[in-house]
Amino acid sequence: MNISLEGQRVFITAGGAGMGRTTTIAMHDLGAEVFTCDIDSTALDTLPAGITSWPCDVADSSQLDAILDEILPGGLDVLVNNAGVAGPTKLVEDITDEEWRHCLAVTLDSQFFCSRRAVPVMKAQGHGVIINMVSTAGILGYPTRSPYAAAKWAVTGFTKTLAMELGPHNIRVNGIAPGSVSGDRMDRVVAGHAEVEGIDPDEVRRLYTVGVSMQSWIDPEEIADLIVFLSSDHARHISGQIIGVDGHTETLWPRT
Ligand X SMILES: NC(=O)c1ccc[n+]([C@@H]2O[C@H](COP(=O)([O-])OP(=O)(O)OC[C@H]3O[C@@H](n4cnc5c(N)ncnc54)[C@H](O)[C@@H]3O)[C@@H](O)[C@H]2O)c1
Instruction: By CB under 6 A, name the binding residues for ligand X.
Output: 14, 16-20, 38-40, 43, 56-59, 82-85, 106-107, 133, 135, 178, 180-181, 183-186
135/232 with CB nearer ligand X? 135
38/77 with CB nearer ligand X? 38
In the complex, what is the shortest distance from the CB of residue 118 to ligand X, in angstroms, rounded to a whole number? Answer: 17
Contact 130, 171 (CB under 8 A): yes
Instruction: Tell me, yes or no, if 142 is annotated catalytic.
Output: no
Angle, helix 97-104 to helix 146-166, in steps of 10 degrees: 30
Vertex 85, ends 165 and 201: CA angle to 5°? Answer: 135
In the complex, what is the shortest distance from the CB of residue 204 to ligand X, in angstroms, rounded to a whole number? Answer: 13
Contact 173, 231 (CB under 8 A): no
In the complex, what is the shortest distance from the CB of residue 83 to ligand X, in angstroms, rounded to a whole number? Answer: 5
- Give how far Cα 188 sits from Cα of 70, 83, 191, Å: 34, 17, 5
143/183 with CB nearer ligand X? 183
Any bridge partners for residue 245, and if so which? 178
Any bridge partners for residue 9, and if so which? 33
- Give how far Cα 119 sits from Cα of 35, 92, 98, 154, 186, Å: 17, 35, 30, 19, 32
In the complex, what is the shortest distance from the CB of residue 182 to ligand X, in angstroms, rounded to a whole number? Answer: 8
Residues 6+ apart with CB under 8 A from 150: 104
59/119 with CB nearer ligand X? 59
Any bridge partners for residue 243, and if so which? 176
Catalytic residue among 142, 148, 153, 208: 148
5/83 with CB nearer ligand X? 83
In the complex, what is the shortest distance from the CB of residue 18 to ligand X, in angstroms, rounded to a whole number? Answer: 2
- Active-site positions read 148
